[in-house]
Structure 1
Amino acid sequence: MVLNSLIKENYRIKHPYYRLRLWLEGLHSKDKIVIYQMGKVGSTTIWKSLQSLNLNIPIYHIHSLNHERIRKAIETDQANYRKLHFMYPETLHSEYLRSQLDRKNIVNPWSVITLVRDPIAKILSGFFQKLEGELLLGFDYRKKIKAEGDTKIVQEIIEGFYKERVENPSRIHPFEWFNFELKDHLNVDLFAASTLAGRNYYIDNTKLARVLWLKLESLNDSYQSAFKDFLGIQNFNLVQANVGLNKRYKNLYKIFLRNVNLPVDYLDNIYQTELVRHFYSKSEIEQFYQRWKSY
């Protein structure tokens, strides 16, 4: 009881304790399943679904293997720990796997699962997620909504989105993640693999990783066959988790989506890139255009 209390209250005890647990877990298996992808593309659902199977293979959920990003994530967790008493598992997993790479301690290629999603949907969802972060740290938009009304608050959020995303030429395309992460750290070049455009999933084999490429839009139609081919799992079922429209700000999020208007030149900058065309066919991209043009 005393140890549990110390672990819960003290970041400097909890952090090394969970690092040790990850290290011990890794000793018992040469294999690793790594859900390694951008944020807001369904990674938590895949992670929770695989965990529910009790596969006896370590399962990790990460968004980055970059040293600097991991360092900043650790600093953020530590700074917020006194208020939240929580550390993000993704941070711990990233730190552990990064140490395995640095030591060249990869016995068998990792089984890496990565998803893509309509980049505009990913951008909108990622921007809105910061409201959840503010809620955790004590700032609740619902109080402002009650005092000032939905319309005014949504307009403030939309103006913030325009300033941060639409009117900011320095913003990097979200799909550059694949170059900054998978290519830089696992030497997985997506253009060396077969295109995912017009397909639901694809399996690629490299020296450090065996990679399952999935599309969120067609996940419900393909996940059982994909995970059977990739991991030999029969009758795989998805456990829905971390869905934006089910969160505390779901009503505000719906209003935001109905009212945000995206200029065609902004849509062109996002959709008319080689990265997007590698993952999505012309007809799929056109469907994305029509979706966001209608708002």
Structure 2
Amino acid sequence: MKTASQSVYASLQNAFGSRHIYHTHRLGAEIAAGEKLTHRSYVKQVRALRALADRSAPQFIVTIMRDPVARLYSNIFHREAALIARAAAMDDLDSISGVLWARASAILDRNKDYYIREFLPLGLNIMAPNTEVGRTFLVFRMEDLEVTFPATLKRVTGKQVSLIHKNDASHYGPPTAYDWLKRRFVLPSGLIDELYEDKVVRHFYTDGEIRAFRERLRSNARKKSSEPLTV
């Protein structure tokens, strides 16, 4: 979901070791939908599901929210970074716009109601995360993860856990190409409204925070490239 999960995973492994820490982007959606998984993804998914089924030891379940428009751009860049970098070098959006819209549509379809679908089968409600005997459900926001993650882990585990940065946009291509994508590939206002009116998004972000997200989008659209792109 492009929400810093690799960073959280690496941080937890570094603090607690890797034996009983599991990471998966999805718990069961691919199998339920009949989608193909790589062997590695399937193994990660099965390990996580087996761990969740074993209630003999305390469990900590961690998920991360993010500005939905930023998450969409990040997902697109993750999957089409090389193509975007080449187009950005020539400032040629037209040649790849069809690919970008197809990718965006697929991501939106796949992730619709993601947070509800993933956790309700486990008896968990992301909008009312609670702690039951032996199971703690933690929901972070990517925008303030630097502060809330170490503080929360200290409170619930008693251990200082530093956030390790992994798998950010620069891992996939030049940061300037990612900036170009956000500036030149403009989403329709109706789609932006739909993403920000999502009930889960409205639950985790205030009206003021959503207005700030929208203003950042407008600012990106107004920006002009001030330096040559190096690819």
Which of the five TM-score ranges fits, normalised by the shorter chain? 0.7 to 0.9
The 1:67–1:215 alpha-carbon spacing in structure 2 relative to 1, beyond 3 Å, is: closer
Shift of residue 71 of structure 1?
A: 9.3
| Whole-angstrom CA distance in 2 between matches of 1:280 and 1:180 | 20
Q: Report the counterpart of residue 96 of structure 1 in structure 2.
A: 47
The amino acid of 1:77's aligned partner reads T
Task: Tell me the CA shift for residue 175 of structure 1.
Answer: 6.4
Q: What is the letter of the counterpart of residue 205 of structure 1?
A: T
Partner residue in 2 for 1:122: 71
Cross-structure match for 1:183: 120
CA distance in 1, matches of 2:10, 2:34: 25
CA distance in 2, matches of 1:228, 1:57: 20
Give 1:275-290 correspondences, 5 Å limit.
Answer: 275-290=200-215
Task: Point out which structure has higher relative CO (alpha carbons under 8 A, 6+ apart).
Answer: 2
What does residue 145 of structure 1 align with?
86
Aligned residue in 2 for 1:161: 100
Report deviation, 1:48.
0.9
Shift of 1:259: 1.2
Q: CA deviation at 1:293?
A: 2.3
After TM superposition, the score normalised by the length of structure 1 is 0.64
Q: Equivalents in 1 of 2:164, 2:117: separation in Å? A: 29
| 1:190 alignment partner, SS class | coil
CA distance in 2, matches of 1:141, 1:191: 37
**Deviation (angstroms), 1:261:** 1.6
Change (3 A) 1:98 1:170: closer
Instruction: Pick which of 272-281 and 55-64 moved more.
Output: 55-64
Matched, 1:216 2:142: yes
**1:130 offset after TM fit, Å?**
1.1
The TM-score normalised by the length of structure 2 is 0.80
Q: Which runs of 5+ in 1 are unaligned?
A: 1-38, 79-86, 133-139, 194-203
| Contact 1:187–1:208 (CA under 8 A) maintained in structure 2 | no
Unaligned runs of 5+ residues in structure 2 are: 222-231
What does residue 43 of structure 1 align with?
Answer: 5
Paired residues of 2:61 and 2:135 also in contact (CA < 8 A): yes
* Matched length: 220
With over 3 angstroms needed to count, the CA separation of the structure-2 counterparts of 1:67 and 1:216, relative to structure 1, is closer
CA distance in 1, matches of 2:76, 2:173: 15
The verdict on how the C-alpha distance between 1:145 and 1:105 changes in structure 2, with shifts beyond 3 A counting, is closer
CA pair 159-187 structure 1, distance change in 2 beyond 3 A: same
The 5-angstrom pairing of residues 223-238 of structure 1 reads: 223-234=149-160, 236-238=161-163
Query: What letter corresponds to residue 259 of structure 1 in structure 2?
Result: R
* Distance in 2 of aligned mates of 1:141 and 1:170: 17
Q: How far apart, in 2, do the equivalents of 1:208 and 1:158 lie?
A: 48
CA distance in 1, matches of 2:33, 2:197: 34
Structure 1: distance between partners of 2:106 and 2:12: 39
The CA distance in 1 between the partners of 2:112 and 2:162, in whole Å, is 27
Counterpart residue type for residue 119 of structure 2: L
Output one character per residue of 1:83-134: Cα deviation in whole Å (capped at 9) or x when no partner.
xxxx35xx32211232455xx43213420111100000111111121125xx
Larger Rg: 1 or 2?
1
Q: CA RMSD in A?
A: 3.1
Mapped to 1, the partners of 2:33 and 2:19 lie a distance apart of: 27
CA contact (8 A) 2:2 2:71 kept: yes
The answer on whether the counterparts of 1:150 and 1:252 sit within 8 Å (CA) in structure 2 is no
